[in-house]
């Protein structure tokens, strides 16, 4: 309980109420090393270590595989291939096209072909090298362009739009076309993929998996083992980061560990090292973005055709929904009356790309933000003016290309507030003045916006469950289907329960997610973890509270509305009963103090065949101004200052939300600046360790990074305590860094041409663009 001074005198309130800044429940354990990850769990003495052997070819038939020497190697206990699978050889989320082990055909370098279980990981790894595998190489498609040309896709091209783009483009007074590339991104979670399986009685198995989606891992392990789902329990206390990379991929590793455990009767662990993790697991989709835009002399878009093509890799995975989300965000905050969006989902002989923070949204959104700057340059206007005239607003300008009405548009207000607080106009003039005097160092500045839709666009996934127990001593056990990956979901849901019972948050035990407590859950993804699980936990807590209220009213003979919960006590009329005492009395009175809770998101619907509907309950908004300094002789740059204004509604926990905004922004900055995935001609990833793949370091954090929550923020929809999701939207605030770099590059050619940058804007890419604008300025 904490005391608080108010005008009415001192009132006490519970510790950890909603809307209060509270540190992450495991923060101290994260830094001290006391937080237990799967690899920290004590290893049983007969435990086996698993190594998965990988394909060396991007596309080939396996003509022969002799594993005799592998099986005979020192320390090896068992070797498993496709033939050893008792159930189905598939670990795909829905499409049925992700074999656990290649069965005669390999389709990417890194595809598992068999696994070795041995007494040590060194022995398993050494044994795998003894395999004799004969391949017959087949032609491989490894790039977007090659797949597009060959018509190789994981599903047919999708189209979304409204109005008549072709006619509108023809009638437009101004018109621009362009094309650029957007790179992929490795998740680089600190804890790599890992699974630990323990055999149980009757062929059952208990799997500890670093997964955002325990129910799917459970389902797929059962599918591979050929058992009913109830033979498999999946548990995860926390992940050392997921970022979307642990939405579908963990099933593969969990299934291998479970197979070995069931087959040998010994516990088994599979932990990938960093190189293998980067080679074997899918990433953010890289895109090619082509546009044709028409606009009036104010820069208002009058017609637009967008064509996006993404590299999905060898299988379907979540690529349909990811590419749909790219289309859903191709408008960002801007009204497009006449637009056609085409989206190609290409099948290539590279690892199957997957969910990554923003789920395709960042790629779609970066496209139109770049187009805004192209239009501004063409008209000689400040890009902010062009953004302003294109904003959604008013009844005739509020329908998205997918037919949803934008009802909660705060983008104009956010833009104005940030432009003022960050002194955008004064600083833009300052940048121009600096550049006029500085021949080699150039500055750039950009303000970009974010509008991000919240809900799974696959409607049925928007459901969640929770389980709450109140013990007879008044302490509470909280469980729900959401998973903790560092984002602070667990503490937020605990705050919701603390608020409802009006007890201090430290009386609530946060517990590991397990399929044995809450069944049939969705992945913790789409930023909706706290929206969904917060509501489900609230539902459970309310059920118990209603029973306690009824019990107290009866026992103390008063109307139910005279029973209130406040400050760790229950008040019955004027009688004060500590919460713990009432819990004991209720137990003795034979009242059930355990309840499940459930929630499903209202209002949403979507017709995918027409790409029309209301896929989102609401939108999250944010805005950022970034200022950068580039060295035109080397292409190196520094992000000097960033100002962010972001809306999290009535934040459940402003401290956690600010952390998410900072982390998301920096991760987005990495995607657009230093993180470059390089595949060679054979489709082999050449950047599979921190030596060649550079994520942002502490020293890359902008020296001035001002993050403010939008103070008037309040969700117009009845979400949990009127909060808004925060996990993914801030990622796209980094678009401002990319456009600030492009602005600085343009300065190198005296703003005569605008730099068309491909992402990531590595120093090499920046230098190329500088040379190009300089050349064009001379002509």
DSSP class of residue 36 equals P
Q: Which CB sits closer to ligand MTE, 453 or 529? A: 529
Strand 60-66 and strand 105-106: the pairing is antiparallel
Give the residue at shortest CB distance from ligand MOS. 244
Q: Which CB sits closer to ligand MTE, 353 or 660? A: 660
Nearest residue to 482 (alpha-carbon basis) of 207, 195, 208, 211: 211
- Annotated catalytic, 728? yes
Gap between the Cα atoms of 476 and 537, Å rounded: 12
Q: Which CB sits closer to ligand MOS, 209 or 302? A: 209
Gap between the Cα atoms of 551 and 230, Å rounded: 36
Residue 453 binds which entry of ligand MTE, ligand MOS, none, CB below 5-8 Å type-dependent: none
Q: How far is the CB of 423 from ligand MOS (least distance, A)?
A: 34
Q: How far is the CB of 73 from ligand MTE (least distance, A)?
A: 37
Gap between the Cα atoms of 327 and 668, Å rounded: 19
Residue 70 binds which entry of ligand MOS, ligand MTE, none, CB below 5-8 Å type-dependent: none
Q: Which CB sits closer to ligand MOS, 356 or 402? A: 356
Residue 762 binds which entry of ligand MOS, ligand MTE, none, CB below 5-8 Å type-dependent: none
Please give the helix or strand (H or E) that residue 418 lies within, else none.
helix 411-421
Q: Which CB sits closer to ligand MTE, 162 or 462? A: 462
Query: CA angle, corner 518, sides to 513 and 524, nearest 5?
Result: 55
Q: Which two tokens stand for residue 541?
A: 């807590």
Q: How far is the CB of 606 from ligand MOS (least distance, A)?
A: 17
Residue 485 binds which entry of ligand MTE, ligand MOS, none, CB below 5-8 Å type-dependent: ligand MTE
Beta bridge partners of 572: 563, 575
Q: Is 531 helix (H, G, I), strand (E, B) or coil?
A: helix
Q: Which CB sits closer to ligand MTE, 100 or 656? A: 656
Q: How far is the CB of 132 from ligand MTE (least distance, A)?
A: 40
Give the residue at shortest CB distance from ligand MTE. 529
Q: Is 202 helix (H, G, I), strand (E, B) or coil?
A: helix
Gap between the Cα atoms of 264 and 363, Å rounded: 45
DSSP one-letter string for 40-106: GSPPPTT-EEEEEEE-S-SSEEEEEEE-HHHHHSTTEEEEE-GGG-SS-S---SSSS---SS-SSEE
Residue 247 binds which entry of ligand MTE, ligand MOS, none, CB below 5-8 Å type-dependent: ligand MOS
Q: Is 575 helix (H, G, I), strand (E, B) or coil?
A: strand
Q: Which CB sits closer to ligand MOS, 283 or 314? A: 283
Residue 486 binds which entry of ligand MTE, ligand MOS, none, CB below 5-8 Å type-dependent: ligand MTE
Q: How far is the CB of 527 from ligand MTE (least distance, A)?
A: 5
Q: Which two tokens stand for residue 89?
A: 């050889």
Helices (H) and strands (E) in the chain, counts: 19, 31
Q: Which CB sits closer to ligand MOS, 241 or 702? A: 241
Gap between the Cα atoms of 721 and 723, Å rounded: 6
Q: How far is the CB of 697 from ligand MOS (least distance, A)?
A: 23
DSSP class of residue 459 equals G
Cα 265 to chain centroid, rounded: 36
List, in sequence order, the alpha helices (H) in 129-242.
144-150, 165-171, 214-225
Residue numbers at the binding site for ligand MTE (CB under 6 A):
241-244, 357, 485-487, 489, 524-530, 660, 663, 725, 727-728
Q: Which CB sits closer to ligand MTE, 440 or 598? A: 598
Residue 114 binds which entry of ligand MTE, ligand MOS, none, CB below 5-8 Å type-dependent: none
Q: How far is the CB of 244 from ligand MOS (least distance, A)?
A: 3
Query: CA angle, corner 147, sides to 145 and 150, nearest 5?
Result: 110
Q: Which two tokens stand for residue 291?
A: 């546009």
Contacts of 83 (CB under 8 A, 6+ apart): none
Residue numbers at the binding site for ligand MOS (CB under 6 A):
212, 244, 247, 355-357, 359, 525-526, 728
Residue 34, judged by CB atoms within 10 A of its CB (0-12, 13-18, 19+), counts as exposed
Q: How far is the CB of 206 from ligand MOS (least distance, A)?
A: 25
Residues 155/320, Cβ–Cβ less than 8 Å: yes
CA-CA-CA-CA dihedral for 43, 44, 47, 51, to nearest 10: -10
Q: Which CB sits closer to ligand MOS, 631 or 662? A: 662
Q: How far is the CB of 616 from ligand MOS (least distance, A)?
A: 14
CA atoms within 13 A on the CB side of 335: 20
Residue 622 binds which entry of ligand MOS, ligand MTE, none, CB below 5-8 Å type-dependent: none
Q: Which CB sits closer to ligand MTE, 130 or 695? A: 695
Residue 161 binds which entry of ligand MOS, ligand MTE, none, CB below 5-8 Å type-dependent: none
Q: How far is the CB of 530 from ligand MTE (least distance, A)?
A: 5
Q: Which CB sits closer to ligand MOS, 283 or 614? A: 283
Give me the catalytic one of 13, 216, 369, 728. Answer: 728
CA-CA-CA-CA dihedral for 345, 351, 355, 358, to nearest 10: -70
Please give the helix or strand (H or E) that residue 155 lies within, else none.
strand 153-162
Residue 760 binds which entry of ligand MTE, ligand MOS, none, CB below 5-8 Å type-dependent: none
CB atoms within 10 A of CB 610: 11
Residue 302 binds which entry of ligand MOS, ligand MTE, none, CB below 5-8 Å type-dependent: none
DSSP class of residue 203 equals G
Residue 663 binds which entry of ligand MTE, ligand MOS, none, CB below 5-8 Å type-dependent: ligand MTE
Give the 3-state secondary structure percentages of the chain, helix then strand then coil, rounded to 5: 35, 25, 40
Q: How far is the CB of 707 from ligand MOS (least distance, A)?
A: 21
Q: How far is the CB of 33 from ligand MTE (least distance, A)?
A: 17
DSSP one-letter string for 466-506: EEEEE-TTS-EEEEES---SSS-HHHHHHHHHHHHHT--GG
- Whether omega for the bond prior to residue 760 falls within 30 degrees of 0, making it cis, is yes
Residues serving a catalytic function are 728
């Amino acid at each position: 309980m904490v005391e608080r001074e108010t005008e009415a005198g001192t009132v006490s309130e519970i510790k950890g109420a909603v809307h209060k800044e509270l540190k992450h429940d495991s923060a101290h354990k994260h830094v001290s090393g006391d937080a237990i990850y799967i690899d920290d769990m004590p290893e049983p003495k007969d435990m086996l270590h698993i190594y998965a052997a990988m394909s060396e070819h991007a596309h080939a038939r396996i003509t022969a595989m002799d594993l005799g020497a592998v099986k005979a190697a020192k320390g090896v206990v068992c070797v498993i291939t496709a033939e050893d699978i008792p159930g189905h050889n598939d670990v795909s989320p829905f499409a049925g096209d992700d074999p656990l082990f290649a069965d005669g055909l390999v389709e990417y370098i890194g595809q598992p072909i068999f696994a070795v279980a041995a007494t040590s990981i060194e022995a398993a790894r050494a044994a795998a090298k003894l395999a004799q595998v004969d391949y017959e190489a087949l032609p491989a498609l490894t790039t977007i362009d090659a797949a597009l040309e060959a018509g190789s896709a994981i599903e047919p091209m999708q189209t979304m739009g409204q109005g008549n783009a072709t006619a509108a483009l023809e009638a437009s007074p101004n018109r621009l076309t362009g094309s650029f590339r957007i790179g992929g991104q490795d998740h680089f979670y600190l804890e790599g993929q890992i699974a630990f399986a323990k055999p149980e009685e009757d062929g059952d198995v208990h799997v500890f998996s670093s997964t955002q989606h325990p129910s799917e891992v459970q389902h797929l392990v059962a599918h591979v083992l050929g058992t009913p789902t109830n033979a498999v329990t999946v548990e995860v206390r926390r992940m050392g980061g997921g970022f979307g990379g642990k939405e579908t991929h963990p099933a593969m590793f969990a299934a291998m560990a479970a197979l070995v455990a069931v087959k040998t009767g010994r516990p088994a662990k599979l932990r990938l090292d960093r190189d293998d993790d980067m080679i074997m697991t899918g990433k953010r989709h890289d895109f090619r973005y082509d546009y044709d835009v028409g606009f009036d002399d104010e820069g208002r878009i009058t017609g637009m055709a967008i064509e996006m093509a993404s590299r999905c890799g060898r299988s379907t995975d979540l690529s349909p929904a990811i590419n749909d989300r790219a289309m859903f965000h191709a408008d960002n905050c801007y009204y497009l009356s006449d637009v056609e969006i085409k989206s190609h989902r290409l099948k290539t002989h590279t690892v199957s790309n997957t969910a990554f923070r923003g789920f395709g949204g960042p790629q779609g959104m970066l496209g139109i933000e770049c187009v805004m700057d192209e239009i501004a340059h063409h008209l000689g206007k400040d890009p902010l003016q062009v953004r302003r005239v294109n904003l959604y607003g008013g009844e005739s300008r509020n329908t998205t290309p997918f037919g949803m009405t934008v009802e909660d548009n705060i983008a104009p207000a956010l833009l104005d507030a940030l432009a003022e607080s960050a002194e955008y106009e004064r600083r833009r003039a300052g940048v121009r003045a600096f550049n006029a005097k500085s021949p080699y160092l150039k500055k750039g500045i950009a303000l970009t916006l974010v509008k991000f839709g919240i809900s799974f666009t696959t409607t049925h996934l928007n459901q969640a469950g929770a389980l709450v127990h109140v013990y007879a001593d008044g302490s509470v056990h909280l469980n729900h289907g959401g998973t903790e990956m560092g984002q602070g979901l667990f503490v937020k849901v605990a705050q919701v329960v603390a608020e409802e019972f009006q007890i201090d948050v430290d009386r609530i035990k946060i517990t590991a997610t397990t399929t044995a407590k809450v069944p049939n859950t969705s992945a913790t993804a789409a930023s909706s973890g706290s929206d969904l699980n917060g509501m489900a936990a609230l539902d459970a807590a309310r059920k118990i509270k209603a029973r306690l209220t009824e019990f107290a009213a009866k026992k103390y003979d008063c109307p139910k509305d005279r029973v209130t919960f406040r400050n760790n006590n229950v008040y019955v009329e004027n009688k004060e009963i500590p919460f713990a005492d009432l819990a004991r009395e209720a137990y003795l009175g034979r009242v059930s103090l355990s309840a499940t809770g459930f929630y499903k998101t209202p209002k949403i619907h979507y017709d995918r065949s027409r790409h029309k509907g209301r896929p989102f309950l609401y939108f999250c908004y944010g805005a950022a101004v970034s200022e950068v300094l580039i060295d035109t002789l080397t292409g190196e740059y520094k992000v000097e200052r960033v100002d962010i204004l972001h809306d999290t509604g009535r934040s459940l926990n402003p401290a956690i939300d600010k952390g998410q905004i900072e982390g998301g922004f920096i991760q987005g900055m990495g995607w657009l600046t230093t993180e470059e995935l390089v595949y060679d001609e054979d489709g082999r990833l050449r950047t599979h360790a921190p030596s060649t793949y550079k994520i942002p370091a502490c020293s890359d954090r902008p020296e001035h990074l001002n993050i403010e929550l939008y103070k008037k923020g309040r969700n117009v929809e009845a979400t949990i305590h009127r909060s808004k999701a925060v996990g993914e939207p801030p990622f796209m605030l980094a678009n401002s860094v990319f456009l600030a770099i492009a602005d600085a590059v343009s300065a190198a050619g005296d703003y005569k041409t605008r730099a068309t940058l491909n992402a990531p804007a590595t120093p090499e890419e920046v230098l190329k663009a500088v040379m190009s604008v300089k050349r064009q300025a001379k002509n």
